[in-house]
Amino acid sequence: MNDRVNTRKNGRINVVLNHKQTPHTNEADSLFKSEQDRQKHEILDRFEKELEEYVGLNEVKRLIKEIYAWLYINQRRKELGLRASKQVLHMIFKGNPGTGKTTVARMIASFFHEMNVLAKGQLIEVERADLVGEYIGHTAQKTREVIKKANGGVLFIDEAYSLSRGGEKDFGKEAIDTLVKAMEDQQHEFVLILAGYQREMEYFLSLNPGLPSRFPIAIDFPNYTSEELLEMAARMVIEREYELTDEAKRHVKEHLRKLRLEQEKTFSNGRYIRNIIEEAIRMQAVRLLKEGLYDRESLVTLEKEDFNFDASHVKLK
């Protein structure tokens, strides 16, 4: 993936996450020239440090910085009697599962709350079944109730394209119409984030010509690289107080390299990593029980043989 792309199409900021690891203390990008600056901008500093705990997400960090700077400068303008305009902050998240979409939505909700953009900062996560009813008028009622719960926070709709899968006569269209009206009438009272697979989300937006312009920020979440996935696995292993042998690392890395090519459009990224680590821990437990090995080194070591990557196993993930 190339470096960040930040272009405007139909008035929308398109952010591509390249997942390239960059140091937290990048002098060229840092807003902090001194410890005093860091303390003055404590909220930004705290959220940047929180983002550093995750593999990738570097472009989200840049977006957070841009929004923080805009809000901070707006406050300074108010103090001098200058006009401080509001911006619509509804967003589109496009990418495969396990690429950090929900994690980022939760961070954004918390960040906007601390910056006094949102009154409460809660994240309400819903899907089609939470919005679409069974008869005429029921969908609008259900959708309005969900929006009411999200007021003061972020409404996150995963697999949002499912709302248009039934065509013009489907009740999902009623949910979309209700959401669009709320976005217009209550545009500064909540933030709406629509999320889903990239191709499906692009098709969904093409069916609703009025939608793209209502989401000024679009973030693409590409699959992680093999190196990043291995780093993610290493972090998960350390958190659980285990260690990977060098042979196990090579085995996992080669498997991930092949799998990313085979399942590029459906790969579940972080979720898959969590699954294989948790299964390896179970496999290790069975192996140690059979071998009767209970010393510390054996208990913390995950071997190559603890990772079972046969074809049927991969399909189950």
Confidence class of residue 265 from pLDDT cuts 50, 70 and 90?
confident
DSSP characters over 49-106:
HHHTTSSS-HHHHHHHHHHHHHHHHHHHHHHTT---------EEEEE-TTSSHHHHHH
137 and 255 inside one domain = no
Angle at 107 between CA 225 and CA 114, to 5 degrees: 150
Calculate mean pLDDT across residues 102-121: 95
Residue for token pair 């294989």 = 276
**CATH number of the domain encompassing residue 250:** 1.10.8.60
Name, of 13-22, 97-106, 286-295, the range with top average pLDDT: 286-295
**Bridge partners, 94 (sequence order):** 196, 220
The reply to whether 1 falls in a domain is: no
Report yes or no on 240 lying in a domain.
Answer: yes
- Considering the domain architecture, whether residues 208 and 246 belong to the same structural domain is answered as no
Q: Check residue 136 and give its pLDDT.
A: 79
Residue 165 has a pLDDT of 79
HSE-up of residue 303 (Cα within 13 Å, Cβ side): 10
Kindly state the tokens that stand for 83. Answer: 């006009």
Note whether 231 and 214 are same-domain residues. Answer: no
Greatest CA span in the chain, whole angstroms? 75
Q: Are 302 and 243 in contact (CB under 8 A)?
A: yes
Q: Are residues 167 and 302 in the same domain?
A: no
Among the ranges given (17-26, 74-83, 103-112, 162-171), the one the predictor scored with the smallest mean pLDDT = 17-26
Kindly state whether residues 265 and 144 are assigned to the same domain.
no
Residue 42 has pLDDT above 70, yes or no: yes
Q: Are 209 and 168 within one domain?
A: yes
Domain limits for position 266:
226-316
Residues 110, 240 within the same domain: no
Distance in angstroms (rounded) separating the CA atoms of residues 292 and 288: 6
* Average pLDDT value for the chain: 86
Give the range among 75-84, 141-150, 184-193, 259-268 with minimum mean pLDDT: 259-268
- Helix, strand or coil for residue 33? coil
User: Span 305-312, mean pLDDT?
Assistant: 78
Whether 187 contacts 88, CB under 8 Å: yes
Nearest C-alpha neighbor of 98 from the set 254, 247, 3, 229 = 229
| Boundary of a domain, candidates 184, 203, 221 | 221
- pLDDT, residue 168, reads 63
Identify the three-state secondary structure at position 80. Answer: coil
pLDDT score, position 167:
63
**180 and 43 both lie in a single domain:** yes
CATH number for the domain that contains residue 195: 3.40.50.300
Of 279, 278, 284, 282, whose CA–CA distance to 298 is shortest? Answer: 284
> How many domains does the chain fold into?
2
Same domain membership, residue 97 and residue 155: yes
| Statement to judge: residues 13 and 127 lie in one domain | yes
Last residue of a domain, one of 191, 221, 251: 221
Domain presence at residue 190: yes
Same-domain pairing of 240 and 155 = no
- Considering the domain architecture, whether residues 23 and 58 belong to the same structural domain is answered as yes
